A and B are shown apart, each in its own frame.
Chain A
């Protein structure tokens, strides 16, 4: 059953944790067509003043979408999603970076449910104002 069935405003959805690594960044780069070297090449990332390779903001947002998809469990679908990219997610070589996605029900109308998401990595919010509207599938 979907985590959203019969839900009420203010209810919290089960937190999901994803692990990012360089392989995921490389696969996402190819799959999305965003081959910016700041996501792929450590020397390049550092040359433009970043501490290390950073994940695509859109990858972080796609993982927020994945969390929504799990909560929806085919009974609901996401018709709108917004995110502000507030902090970079740094992904070092040969290690993984955890991304925690939690959700809270912000509003329920006849047609839509608004889910407000919190997306955290290294104890910092990496996405801001992240919200989605879902409807019955």
Chain B
């Protein structure tokens, strides 16, 4: 079981990821959009830069990533990322609860380009207990 005192714990991004046209086109075409689709037309594209942060953080909390189920997801775009920008994700645990043997975590990840916050995301992640 995860400790409730994890709420408020911050995980500063340790590296940046470059937004590149190849990744953007691959994301667009995987859902049947054309390769030249803009980031502003793909409101969920930034998951590419936040999900791997959640995957990195989970083991630090003693959570088994192989047992994760996505509960809900929010994106707020303050502006849209641009190709060739270097993006960093800073994350914070906003809520933790345990229910029916599952650990439920709400993780906020803000995507920054330099000091500018570009997109805020919230992921509720359910870590299923061992049956």
Contacts and interface: CB of A to CB of B under 8 A. Distances in A.
Interface in A52-73: 56-59, 61-63, 65-66, 68-69, 72
B43 A68 contact: yes
Contacts, number: 93
Contact of A79 (B32, B42, B48, B77): B77
A32 B72 contact: no
Q: How large is the interface on A (under 10, 10 to 19, 20 to 34, 35 or more residues)?
A: 35 or more
A33 B29 contact: no
Interface stretch (A2-10, A81-89, A103-111, A118-126): A81-89
Nearest to A85: B70
Interface residues of B, number: 31
Interface of B: 23, 26-27, 29-33, 37, 40-44, 47-48, 51-52, 66, 68-77, 80, 131
Nearest to A26: B30
Given A65-B42, A65-B44, A132-B43, A80 B74 contact: yes
Contacts of A85: 69-73
Interface of A: 18, 24, 27-28, 30-34, 36, 49, 56-59, 61-63, 65-66, 68-69, 72, 74, 77-85, 129, 132, 137
A55 to B, nearest CB: 11
A92 B7 CA distance: 39
Given A18-B31, A30-B26, 12 more contacts: A27-B30, A28-B31, A31-B23, A31-B29, A49-B131, A66-B31, A69-B41, A74-B41, A77-B40, A79-B76, A84-B72, A137-B40
